[in-house]
Each structure stands twice: as structure tokens, then as C-alpha cells.
Structure 1
Amino acid sequence: MSALQSYGWNEHFMHHFETNTSQDLEAARVLSIQGFIHLLITGTGNVEAQLSGALINSREPEAYPKVGDWVLVKRYDNEGIIIDTLPRINWLSRKAPGTQSKRQVLAANIDSAFIVQGLDRDYNLMRLQRYLQQVVQCNIQPVVILNKADLVTNPETYRQAVQELGYNCPVIFTSAVNHTQQEEWTNQYLLPRHTYILLGSSGVGKSTLLNSLLGYRLQEEGATSTANNKGKHTTTARHLILLPNGSMVIDTPGMREFGVTEEGGSEGIHHPLIDELASTCRFGDCTHQHEPGCAVIAAVRNGTLPEPVHRSYLKLLREQYHFQASEADRRRDEKQFTKMAKQVFRHRKDSKY
């Protein structure tokens, strides 16, 4: 097996590589990004590379290469220039932290997302629904990992609560002190040549889990802040790491914000339980908030749809509408600025100054 195949090279990327490249370009996968430097894995080993000026000037920042992307690189001795990115199978994004409605792509070409919550203090169903919703919208299979399961007396109640959210995804218990439990789920869910991403807040135990999977300490394990009982960041950037069993994990810094975006051209938030009920609403454009004959509201009232799930759904829906409106405004402003800049350039050229 070639080095590229070990890192997930498949027919999708081979097709685009063979039909769109010249002979002096190599295929490579982005393992990490530190400032302007991209660490890549090629067929002959690792190489450091930077983005070409043409790529920077022709793309939105969200389309720049991210960890997990496959790129085309031109080699110059021991360094390289990234010329282009091969089409992604998918990507995981979130609303960029802060007030501006911009999309931040976290990683690309992911088979499954492990959403980690700690049962000691981090467990929060509504936050979990936010992660699940965005991961599903990005066309990625979610897997929920409930970590530190040894610290609660009845973990099954937590599994049941997650399943009631309606996303029909695996829910795994694990603990850093229970190696048998870890081996069971990793043997089932970590497949060779597949790419996974670890998501969750600071302090939920992502770095501890990764160190256990690797068999050695890659990340220093962070303590919990005594001031606010929140975890401290131990991972400061995203890295794609090849595990001993041949699978790959992208580790991510703890995220205190995980805002939803619009992905795949879909309109609205598509929740499995609510979508199923919506088909029997009286009105086809029902917003599931106040309309007569709304099957979703009826399900909340009779207890078949958990009220917190419905409330969180409406909140995420409002966030997405706000993101869509703000992004449209931003793109319109950028288009107007570009048009104005071209007019100024043309005027200066005509005036010869």
C-alpha cells in the first residue's frame, strides 16, 4: 500500500487528480497548518509548503486548504507551493466565533465526527444537539462519546437522553481508566484509511482519549480551571494524526462556540424527528411555532416530542436565518467594493496617473 493510500487516497481524488493536473504536480494531504506553513504528506514523505499567490487571490478564505484537504503541490527541493485543492467530499464548518457571520471551515474529507462530552460536568443536551445538527448538515456521520462514564452511577440514563434527541447515531461510553471499554468501541468504529475528527469543549478529555489511542502522550493533558470549572486548552491547532491501527484522527482545540451555518444549499434546519412530523402539518410552509394544525406543536403538547428538542430547534433555526442574512449582506458589500475598485482602476488607467 502506498503512503497516500494509507492517508485515505481513493478513486474520488484519483479521478480529479488525473483529469486536472500536469505531470509536474504531486498530490498531497494537509496534516496541519501553522501560520503560513502547511505540513503535507506526499507519496515520498512529509513536506512543508505555502499557498501560491494565485490561489490566495482567487479564493474565499473558507476555500483555502484546510486540515484533511487533498492538494496539488509543486516541489522546489525540500519545500513546496500549493497550487490548487482537489474537490472535497465534505467539510465541517461552523459560524466563525464573534459577531460577524462568516463561515469557518474546520477540516475536510471526514468520514465520521466523534462528539465528546464529559459526564463529570460538561454534559449538556442542548449543546450536544447543536453539534449534532451542524455535523449532520455537513453530511458527516456523528458518533457521540460520553467520556468519564466511571464517574456516574447510571450512565444508561444519559444514553437514553441522547437517543431521544432523534439523530439515530451511535452513543458510546468510555473512560481513560477502562482500557477494555476503549478497545471495544475503537475496534468497532475506528477503521483503517478512514478519517475522524474529535469535537467538544475544553476539558472533556479529547487529548486524553487521543493519547490513549496512540499509546503515548502526544498532548499535555489540561487541568480544569478552579475559577470557572471549565477546561483549559491543551490543543491549540488542528492536526491529522495516523493511529497505529491505520485510521486517522483530526484533533481540534476545545470550542466554546459552535454556531450553525447553511451547508449544501439546504434551507432551514432539518431535524429527523421534526421533519417526520412536519409532513402531517396542515400547512406546507409551517414554521412549527404557532400555526393551527401543526403536528410538531401537537407532539410537544402530548409528550411524544421533548419540549427542549423543539425549543433548541427553533433557536438553531433563528441562528441559521441570521447567518444567511448576514452572509448575503457581506457578499453584496464585497461585490460592490470590487466593482468600485475596478471603476477606480479603470479611471486611473484612462487618466494615466
Structure 2
Amino acid sequence: MEARPVSSHPLRRYGWRDDLPAAEWLDRQRPEGRLARVVEQHRSGYRVTEGGDDFAVGSPSAWTRRNIDPEARAAVGDWVLLDPVHDQILQLLPRSALLSRGAAGEHYQRQLIAANVDTVLVVCGLDGDFSPRRLERYVMLVRASGSEPVVVLTKRDLCADLESRLAELSAIEGQGIAIVALNARELASRESLEKWTLPGRTLVLVGSSGAGKSTLTNALLGIERQKTGAVRETDSRGRHTTTHRALIPLPGGACLVDTPGMRELKLTGDEDLAEGGFEDIEKLAGECRFRDCRHDREPGCAVRAALESGALDAGRLAQYFKLHGELAEAGQAQAAQRAKRQGDRVQTRALHKRLDDKYGQH
């Protein structure tokens, strides 16, 4: 069974478009199989859709290997090729974007969040959840993924001074990133996000627990599908009302990936500080007298000069140093992981060769 031509495929309501890398690959390769999109990912496996009801599928045995690169496995939003007859994934198709983060914990691991996403709505409450520093992290992660970040400030009705909050995000807005403030319980909230919810587009909601993602999901769906919960008065944090990632078609033709809240947001090592709102500091660093300037007490340090003159905020500089260190650490850990996987492959090939030499090839 040849994969159905893209022009007539029912998966259009699930974000299928002719300009996707997966569509170009199918048109060029013309493989045998069925096209599907991953709509849910659980520890026990995947659920996909071919345009109708979703169903469980098996995954390739290679995906269960201990040291496989996480990016080689499917995530919610991925396009996959299924066996012509059986509900079994044969192949992961080329991606247009991949949103991931460093998994929580001491040991570096990459955790996939969603694939083939056009726009990431970074949701942050205008109550005690508000954190410009956390938003800078999200923007860096999103831009590294290949998706477009949009900052969505929820609970506008609880904010007495919106202008001061927006002023704290001037560095992010200065990069051309849209910032939308709304009350997700009002109908107008859907209208303010219309340009990112056009037919064929895929969005993902990310943010901490209690930021209002489930309430915003309900607003975009026009129904009370997602459970919502109260937040703690002490820190405006909520419980995880979303327990797993899932792709949901919206009434207007777009698709939405809802994700559990994130308590910890670690960098992967692929991010760029300039894309996290620190382009000005990166530019200043390039103007220092010494190339290896640590921006401490070295003479001719343009970064320290800007700090002392008041042109550079001390809080932003501290965040820059912190993220710079985390990026270096994540990059080193990522390189070590890749080297280990390569070493494991070399050892496996050597073992197979010794077995073949001893017992003969079968």
C-alpha cells in the first residue's frame, strides 16, 4: 500500500501540509506504508492517528535500546510511517522542528517535548508565577528547536500594573517576539491568538504548573475538555492537571499539543544566548579588550563598563553568567553522551566480529 498523496490525505486536520519535510520525503520516496501522526506518548508506547480515531501502535525494537539517541525515537507531533497491514511504526519521518529540554536530575539526558511544531506558546501567569528569567530560558529553548516562540501572559485580571510587567520583558520583546496578555477565561483570548491558530498549523503550550495552560486549552477548544485546578496562594503554583503530552485538533483547523507543567527547565546545550534576549551582552563581550575576558576585573572590559554606567542591568548580567555556565556544562555532557554511544557501537561491532571469527557467520 503506497502512502496516500499529500493533497488528499485526511491528516490535514491534524496539521499535515504539503510544505513539510515529511511531505517532501514521501513525495520523493513513494514508500509502502500508511502515514500517521503521533498524538500521545506514554511509557508503554504510542498512540497515533491516520485522520480519524487514534489507536495504539508498536514501535521499532531499535527504539528500546538503552543507549539510543533520544532524538531517534518519536515524540508527540512526529509523522511516522506505519506497516501497510499491522499497527506498527516502520519509520520516523523528517522533522521541521524538535522541542526538547534537559531532563530533570543530576545526569544529563535529553527529554523530547514535541516535534513539528510551528509556534510555541510560552504561558506565564501575571500572578506569583511571573518570572522574566524563566521566560528567557523558554525563549532560548524554543528558538533552538526551530519553532517560533510567543509569550502568553495569563491571568491579566489579577495584574494591577500590566505596563510594569511588560517593561520587565523589554529585552525579549526587543527581539521581535510577540507578547500577548489575556484572561484565558474570556472569549477575546481566542481572538488575540488567531494569527497563530490558522488551519494546518501546530502549536504547543509550555509553562509551569498553575500558569493557566489547561484553562487556555479550554478557551482555544471552546469546551471544558481539560481539567483545571486552583493554585497555592503562597507561590501561585498548581498541581499537574495535564498528566501526559497529547495532540488535540482545534475547531479552526490548527492542532495543539498540551504538556504537563515543568518544575525544572534545563538547557540542552544547543541553545544560543543571543537568542535568549542576551544579544546586547554578547555584542558587548565581543568589544572587550581581551578575547578571553571573564568580565570580572580585566582592563578594557566592555561588559563591566556598561554595568558600571547603568546601561546594563545587574540582574540580567547575573542571569547571562548563570546560563553561560549551564550551556557550557550541558554541551560537555552532551559531547560525553555522544562519545559513549559511539564507543558502545564500536564495541558491539568488535564483539560481533570476534563471534563471527570464532563460530563463523550465520
TM-score, normalised relative to structure 2 = 0.86
Q: Which is further off, 320-329 or 200-209?
A: 320-329
Distance, in Å, in 2 between the alignment partners of 1:71 and 1:115 is: 27
Assess if the C-alpha contact under 8 Å between 2:245 and 2:258 holds in 1.
yes
1:304 corresponds in structure 2 to 311
Matches within 5 A, 1:55-134: 56=64, 59-76=68-85, 80-134=87-141
Counterpart amino acid of 1:171? Answer: I
2:212 corresponds in structure 1 to 205
Shift of 1:341: 4.3
Gaps of 5+ in 1: none
1:33–1:183 CA distance, 2 compared to 1 (3 A): closer
Gaps of 5+ in 2: 1-7
Shift of 1:100: 0.8
Matches within 5 A, 1:85-234: 85-165=92-172, 166-180=174-188, 182-225=189-232, 230-234=237-241
Q: Select which of 40, 50, 55 maps to 2:48.
A: 40
Assess if the C-alpha contact under 8 Å between 2:185 and 2:215 holds in 1.
no
1:15 corresponds in structure 2 to 24
Counterpart amino acid of 1:124? Answer: S
Assess if the C-alpha contact under 8 Å between 2:119 and 2:196 holds in 1.
no
Q: Which is further off, 38-47 or 150-159?
A: 38-47
Counterpart amino acid of 1:242? Answer: P
Assess if the C-alpha contact under 8 Å between 1:90 and 1:140 holds in 2.
yes
Assess if the C-alpha contact under 8 Å between 1:132 and 1:167 holds in 2.
no
Distance, in Å, in 2 between the alignment partners of 1:130 and 1:85 is: 29
Shift of 1:225: 4.3
2:3 corresponds in structure 1 to none
Shift of 1:191: 1.9
- 3-state SS, counterpart of residue 241 of structure 1: strand
Q: Select which of 320, 323, 328 maps to 1:316.
A: 323
Q: Which is further off, 199-208 or 215-224?
A: 215-224
Distance, in Å, in 1 between the alignment partners of 2:117 and 2:340 is: 33
2:279 corresponds in structure 1 to 272
1:144–1:18 CA distance, 2 compared to 1 (3 A): same
Assess if the C-alpha contact under 8 Å between 1:17 and 1:27 holds in 2.
no
Distance, in Å, in 1 between the alignment partners of 2:310 and 2:235 is: 35
Shift of 1:66: 0.5
Distance, in Å, in 1 between the alignment partners of 2:49 and 2:124 is: 31
Assess if the C-alpha contact under 8 Å between 1:269 and 1:317 holds in 2.
no
Distance, in Å, in 1 between the alignment partners of 2:23 and 2:351 is: 44
Distance, in Å, in 1 between the alignment partners of 2:49 and 2:242 is: 21
Identity of aligned residues (%): 33
Shift of 1:315: 0.7
Distance, in Å, in 2 between the alignment partners of 1:209 and 1:169 is: 20
Counterpart amino acid of 1:111? Answer: D
TM-score, normalised relative to structure 1 = 0.88
1:97-134 residue CA offsets vs partner (Å, 9 max, x unmatched): 10111211211111111111111210111111111122
Distance, in Å, in 2 between the alignment partners of 1:281 and 1:228 is: 40
2:269 corresponds in structure 1 to 262
Counterpart amino acid of 1:183? Answer: R
Shift of 1:284: 4.7
- 3-state SS, counterpart of residue 338 of structure 2: helix
